[in-house]
Amino acid sequence: MSQHSIKIAIAGAGTVGNGVLDLLLKNKVIEKYNISIVAIASRRKISRNNIKLKNTKIFKDAKSLLSFNDFDVLIELIGGEEGIAKEIVFNALSKSKRVITANKALISKHWVEIKRICNQNNSSIKFEAAVAGGVPIIKIIQEFLSSNKISKIYGILNGTSNFILTDMLSKSLTFEKILKKAQDLGFAEADPSFDIDGVDTAHKLSILASLAFNINCNLKKISIEGIRGIDLVDLKYSYELGYKIKLLAVTYFKSNNLLCSVYPCLVNQNDIIASVDGVYNGVVIESDFCKKSFLQGEGAGAYPTATSVLSDLISISKKDTNDFNLNQKIIKHKNLKLSERFGGYYLRFSTIDKSGVISDITKAFKKNNISMKSMLQRDREPGSRNATIIMTTHNCYEKEIVNALKKINSLKNVIRKTVSLRIENFK
């Protein structure tokens, strides 16, 4: 237990902020770790009914925290890569305060600058809650695997997208219908773009890559694709072939070459990451001595995220300030393009059902060094001349697939643009 009380100021009392207050007050965290809540800044009304908040200063505007100095730790739960969130965090760090944040956008964009400010002012920042909610992925990288060399990280980092893909397959419903369900249940925002377009996942991936490989990986270095274009038929065909479609974050670092991408892809049903369904997140970390480490848990919500926030606060109470590997210089690296990716592919062709079509497709494959692995062909519908052909390929370079599809999509018997999805085989 701490000898001296840790004074905390909380900025933001929305969903996560209220979760933090609940855990602090209801589970006796305050008493156990000698924590005092000296200030709360929130546009929402804060009740003083709890005796533990009787002496707490209540500010209606977070800007008030810029001139308020009577705290040890700032807990920033406002969000946003710029604006008042950035202002109060940078202000606290410049005053040698400690900061805890769930703000993935802020950490992702300002990684280098935050590191510099911490070094100059002997301050520190913790951000467990910024990635994967209640999954302690940051601590695993910073502490448990600190003796290992991490080579690859992949996983599901957005519960909303995972819920949509899971329910589309299990309920046999379209993307639009499941998205509406997710919004009704509160899993998706009124504007779900951040989640379904892969941006939320990319922010989290940039933090993991930067931390694991000691680099600066911002959003500009990440290839991002979302799940808007995923069709129910492809989920079903993929499952028939032994796969599930997941929105994955994938990064690996080898010989100072970085590949960092977010995209929907097929994963083998027997792979551990394929078992992560619904709103859950799951992450695999590959390292030299520990091999594969797998973590799974709720990736969002008030209490999982609040648990991560308080985990950081408890670490601070125990004098643990490990956060940014501050003394390590950022490694310069080359960013690999997605065209350099080497792996398998799932392809769905819509063609006129006549002889020579498959031959024309395989000719384009041969010219671009692509080998077919499996094929499904469905009977055409009554009264229709259209056919559906499903193929998977052996490993090849993405640029070879792109070139082959340019030729295939120009064929007179191919009636729609070919659906192409990557296959990730994690051995």
- In the three-class reduction of DSSP (H, G, I as helix; E, B as strand; rest coil), residue 311 is classed as helix
Identify the pLDDT of residue 193. Answer: 95
Q: Which residue type, as a one-letter code, is found at position 385? A: R
CA 394 to chain CA mean position, Å: 28
Helix axes 83-94, 111-121, angle to 10 degrees: 30
Structural domain 137-298, CATH architecture: 2-Layer Sandwich (3.30)
Which of these is catalytic: 86, 204, 244, 246? 204
What would the mean pLDDT of 39-60 be, rounded to a whole number?
82
Backbone angles phi, psi at 316, to 5 degrees: -65, -40
Helix (H) or strand (E) holding 335: strand 334-335
Does residue 107 carry a pLDDT above 80? yes
**pLDDT level of residue 2 (50, 70, 90 thresholds):** very low
Residue 31: CB atoms within 10 A of its CB come to 11
CB 101 within 8 A of CB 110: no
Among the residue ranges 165-169, 187-191, 225-229, the one predicted with the least confidence is 187-191
Using CA atoms, how far residue 293 sits from 283, 288, 322, in Å, is: 8, 11, 21
What would the mean pLDDT of 303-311 be, rounded to a whole number?
92
Query: Strands (DSSP E) along 205-272, which ranges?
Result: 223-224, 243-254, 257-268
Of 83, 81, 80, 84, which Cα lies nearest the Cα of 60?
84
Residue 268: CB atoms within 10 A of its CB come to 17
Among the residue ranges 44-58, 123-137, 152-166, 177-191, the one predicted with the least confidence is 44-58
What would the mean pLDDT of 284-311 be, rounded to a whole number?
92
Give this prediction's pTM.
0.90
What would the mean pLDDT of 46-73 be, rounded to a whole number?
86
- Evaluate whether 137-298 and 339-424 have a shared fold: no
Q: Bridge-partner residues for 293, per DSSP?
A: 285
Q: How buried is 342 (Cβ within 10 angstroms: 0-12 exposed, 13-18 middle, 19+ buried)? A: exposed
What would the mean pLDDT of 251-277 be, rounded to a whole number?
94
CATH fold of the domain at 6-130: Rossmann fold (3.40.50)
Domain residue limits, the chain: 6-130, 137-298, 339-424
Identify the pLDDT of residue 326. Answer: 52
204 is catalytic: yes
Does residue 318 carry a pLDDT above 90? no
pLDDT in tens, 52-64: 788 899 999 999 9
Backbone angles phi, psi at 278, to 5 degrees: 65, -140
Domain 339-424 has CATH 3.40.920.10: no
Helix (H) or strand (E) holding 101: strand 98-101
Helix axes 199-213, 111-121, angle to 10 degrees: 50
Identify the pLDDT of residue 284. Answer: 97
Q: Bridge-partner residues for 35, per DSSP?
A: 6
Q: Alpha helices of 149-242 — where are they, by DSSP H?
A: 159-171, 175-184, 193-196, 199-213, 232-240
pLDDT in tens, 30-40: 888 999 999 99
Does residue 50 carry a pLDDT above 70? no
